[in-house]
Amino acid sequence: MKFEITKHARKEMDRRAIPDDTVEAILQKPDQIVEGYGDTKGYQSIMDFGTGKDYLVRVIVDNSVVPGKVITVYRTSKIDKYWRQL
């Protein structure tokens, strides 16, 4: 599936030091996809950025358009807040 990264998402990736290949890997094979607000979905995976601490990286995608638009990207240490037990 193809995705378009918005200017805002690109800016947040740069600001938060989340590499393109990390975002691409999550979009291609996320650990989870969770429902968001409206037509958005959160593609998310748990990762270690080399610090020995796990972070949840969330790629928020608007799936109402083709290709889907990545609207923001962030990482958080609050894994339990966003992780859905299936």
Tokens of 85: 């037990």
Cα diameter, the chain: 37
**How confident is the model over 41-65, as pLDDT tens digits?**
999 999 998 889 999 999 999 999 9
Which residues contact residue 81 at a Cβ distance below 8 angstroms, ignoring those fewer than 6 apart? Answer: none
Q: How many domains does the chain have?
A: 1
Domain that holds residue 62: 3-82
Going residue by residue through the chain, which has 86 residues, state the pLDDT in tens, using 9 for 90 and above.
Answer: 689 999 999 999 999 999 999 999 999 999 999 999 999 999 999 999 888 999 999 999 999 999 999 999 999 999 999 998 86
* Contact indicator for 46, 23 with CB cutoff of 8 Å: no
Full-model pTM: 0.92
pLDDT on residue 84: 87
CATH number for 18: 3.10.450
> What value, to the nearest 5°, has the Cα angle with vertex 33 and ends 19 and 23?
10
